[in-house]
Structure 1
Amino acid sequence: MTEVTSPGGIKAWLVEEPSIPIVSMNVAWRGGASLDPADKAGLAYLVSSTMDEGAGELDSKAFQERLSDLAIQLGFDASKDSFSGSIKTLSENTDEAFRLFGTAITDPRFDEEPVERIRGQILSSLDRKLSDPDSLAGRAWFELAFGDHPYAQPSEGTMDTMAAITREDLAAFARTRIGRDNMLIGVVGDITAEELGPLLDKTFSDLPAKAEIAAIPQTAPLSEAAVKIIPQDIPQSVVVFGGQGVKRDDPDYYAAYVLNYILGGGSFQSRLTEEIREKRGLVYSVYSYLYPMKAAGLQMGGFGTSNSSVKEALDLVEAELLRIRENGVTEEELAAAKTYLNGSFPLSLSSNDRIADILVAMQFSNLPIDYLNDRPNLINSVTQDDIKRVAQKLLDPDRLIVVVAGKPENLEEKGKGAEKN
């Protein structure tokens, strides 16, 4: 892995892989959907959905036909903290793939027909999600956890805010929020550093030198227990739970990472699966995961179960949080977690585009370029004392935020979850 600097000063991380004639590039710009104005929530998402629908001299049909003719995969996405784009191409078409990508980000057309067509598709999806328990529970959890903070805002927006976005809003986003200073690039495949440098300048030099983005205020999720119920006439409830986690640059990140695997991130190796599924058969699956964002860290989880079993399953979640908090984990659990987390990671490096994505994620988290070499040692250095210390900081049943979509029996709302109804 090397860092390439173009003649014009644009930097990218590169992994050369000449054995397969494919080139993948992933790009992320800091600042995502959380920067959308509250009354235009979904703006970044609509831009990501329409930026490849025509650019420069090519309208939507011509642009998509050009991609298809050359078997180029090109697309964009928006998350709470970033706006991103990617291409995957045969190496013989690398120059044209980069040219099309550069045109899409510097001269997107946002013509009325494709914008309204894509907006209609998004509105239809949002309408379906109004009756989807998974979507309802997930959205309500962030609203409950973050209140007036931008993280409470749904990345895809709402029916009202998506309808309010104008073509000028899309064009302004492209002009102001995509710059060279907030850009992170990862490239993998059949391309050399000498070939990549000039391509970076051709692709990105027409972007503004600086993006006009504000900083998201640092925050934390609600610090008290809350239960909110979204009534749905369905036989099985969907449960989302979570609370305070760690950000990626937290010194306790690796301890929290290993802890989460033991708690609920390890599928059939996790405690939640053992206690709630294997011993009692209350759920088909139960899981937990870390969600480190730029302005807050979360640890979240979820499950689905019959309405009559929701309270029992939640009680078991809280009991397991308390047990690890008080007693830590065993040597055997810790060793097994390290073995899996280190042994399985290379399997994620299975394609050029996946590796390019990891290169960008590393830069986004301000990790060093040799991080992949250090990662096993960082995980292996986690001790039982580290796990217990972090568990006492993060796993607190008295601060658990819960949202249930369904008709849970014998479960009462509490805290801010009750106040909002």
Structure 2
Amino acid sequence: MTLGARPHAAMNIQEVKSEKGIIAWLVEDHTVEIVNIGFAFKGGTKQDPVGKEGMAKLMAGLFIEGAGHYDSGAFQVKLDHAGAEMSLDAQSDDIYGSMCMLSKKQDAAFGLLRLARDPNAIAQRKWLRAIYGAHPCSRPGEGTKESLPGITPSDLRAFHQAIFARDGLHIAVVGDIDANTLRERLDQLFGDLPEQQTLVPVYDVAPKLGQLVEENYDLPQTSLTLAWPGVKPSAPDFYAAVLLNDILGGSYLTSRLYEEVRQKRGLAYHVSSELTLDSLLVTTETRSDCAAQTLSIVRDVVKQMAQQGPTGAELKAAKKHLIGAYAIDQLGSTRSIADRLLDLQIHKADVDYNQRRARSIGRVTLKQVKAAAKKLLSAEPAILVVGP
């Protein structure tokens, strides 16, 4: 239920405000009779109380297990008849929901969504505890065999009341619906929510680097994860770091890591880097007898990047890739457009971000990327090794 890629410049993002003050970003597209709605409430698994880990995900999992006077089976039948797909998922900072529906059946689909609103893990946990300590980031969002049995219906109701409120709500809608109709739908869907959330404050945390975490498993391959400092989108060197990541390992077939680990030595099928708010992560898997060599090469590539930075040719290619691939990868379908618009709102971007992003990337100099490489990659990384 998607559309083909659309020209980047043709996107017209409207900010729609309902009578009750609920705001959504809308991109109208009447070429196919489909409407995609994405929404998010601030407050995800980090809001799980100590000893009740898994509560946010459990609540999300129960989202469409019956609603109103419908049990689970009847609710799924109603969704099918309405030509709709619905989901809800809890992540660390937000609870995300989505619905895809046929525009001609949106009355029934929006009504069902309104009803539904009312009701390698061991190693990863060890890694998160090591780099984040007692911070909520280190607690398992999926819960544990000890925490899940202790979550009661009253816990879920209290969690629901704390999270589902207007001041933490973001909405993106893409497809065959106009602004006037959407205004009515927003109030129908979210208008009776309370005004304010009651979240537990969660402080920022930087990962504790410079440590080795090992988990022995009898596996045919060894998994390697390395973490260096990350960059927030509000930082002045954010786009320099984005370009650095693309050159290092973000661009799958042309990155330095891919060239050295995969192309030249055939040590791994996949190796990549990812820039997050608090870390720059490099991940790969290799044969267990090649793990030490692979780790050494990854560290050498990163060290060289920290000391010398990228070349002018690498920066030029990264700019071309990031500007061109963004429209194709992120904005190619109604669902991906809605997801991207929602993500922009969560990170406090403006409606014209898509246009400004390309200009911001284009203005980054080689000197700035080299400075970002030295700043981020000179630190001693945290390393996770999972395997025999």
Secondary structure at the counterpart of residue 269 of structure 1: coil
Secondary structure at the counterpart of residue 40 of structure 1: coil
| Counterpart residue identity of residue 214, structure 2 | I
| Equivalent residue, structure 2, for 1:112 | none
CA offset at residue 257 of structure 1?
A: 0.8
| Equivalent residue, structure 1, for 2:343 | 361
2:248 and 2:64 map into 1 onto residues whose CA distance is 41
Secondary structure at the counterpart of residue 147 of structure 2: helix
CA offset at residue 137 of structure 1?
A: 3.7
Deviations 1:143-173 (A, max 9, x none): 2110111111122122211222222222222
| Counterpart residue identity of residue 337, structure 1 | A
Indicate if the aligned counterparts of 2:83 and 2:109 stay in contact, CA closer than 8 A.
Answer: no
1:57 matched to 2:69: yes
| Counterpart residue identity of residue 253, structure 2 | F
| Equivalent residue, structure 2, for 1:401 | 382
CA offset at residue 299 of structure 1?
A: 0.9
| Aligned mate of 1:312, from 290, 293, 301 | 293
Taking the TM superposition and a 5 Å limit, the aligned residue runs for 1:14-413 are 14-105=26-117, 107-108=118-119, 133=120, 135-223=121-209, 225-292=210-277, 297-348=278-329, 349-396=331-378, 398-407=379-388
| Cα distance, 1:137–1:240 mapped onto 2, change above 3 Å | farther
Indicate if the aligned counterparts of 1:22 and 1:190 stay in contact, CA closer than 8 A.
Answer: yes
Indicate if the aligned counterparts of 1:137 and 1:240 stay in contact, CA closer than 8 A.
Answer: no
Secondary structure at the counterpart of residue 283 of structure 1: coil
| Counterpart residue identity of residue 264, structure 2 | K
Secondary structure at the counterpart of residue 313 of structure 2: helix
Between the aligned residues of both structures, percent identity stands at: 38
Q: Unaligned stretches of 5+ in structure 2? A: 1-12
Indicate if the aligned counterparts of 2:15 and 2:26 stay in contact, CA closer than 8 A.
Answer: yes
Deviations 1:336-386 (A, max 9, x none): 111111111111212111111111111101111011111111111111111
Secondary structure at the counterpart of residue 66 of structure 2: coil
| Equivalent residue, structure 1, for 2:5 | none
2:144 and 2:168 map into 1 onto residues whose CA distance is 27
1:198 and 1:218 map into 2 onto residues whose CA distance is 38
CA offset at residue 68 of structure 1?
A: 1.3
| Counterpart residue identity of residue 27, structure 1 | F
Secondary structure at the counterpart of residue 238 of structure 1: strand
1:215 and 1:273 map into 2 onto residues whose CA distance is 40
| Equivalent residue, structure 1, for 2:10 | none
Secondary structure at the counterpart of residue 77 of structure 2: helix
Indicate if the aligned counterparts of 1:264 and 1:273 stay in contact, CA closer than 8 A.
Answer: yes
1:227 and 1:208 map into 2 onto residues whose CA distance is 46
| Counterpart residue identity of residue 215, structure 1 | P
1:352 and 1:188 map into 2 onto residues whose CA distance is 6
| Counterpart residue identity of residue 109, structure 2 | A
Secondary structure at the counterpart of residue 52 of structure 1: coil
Q: Unaligned stretches of 5+ in structure 1? A: 109-132, 408-421
1:160 and 1:175 map into 2 onto residues whose CA distance is 24
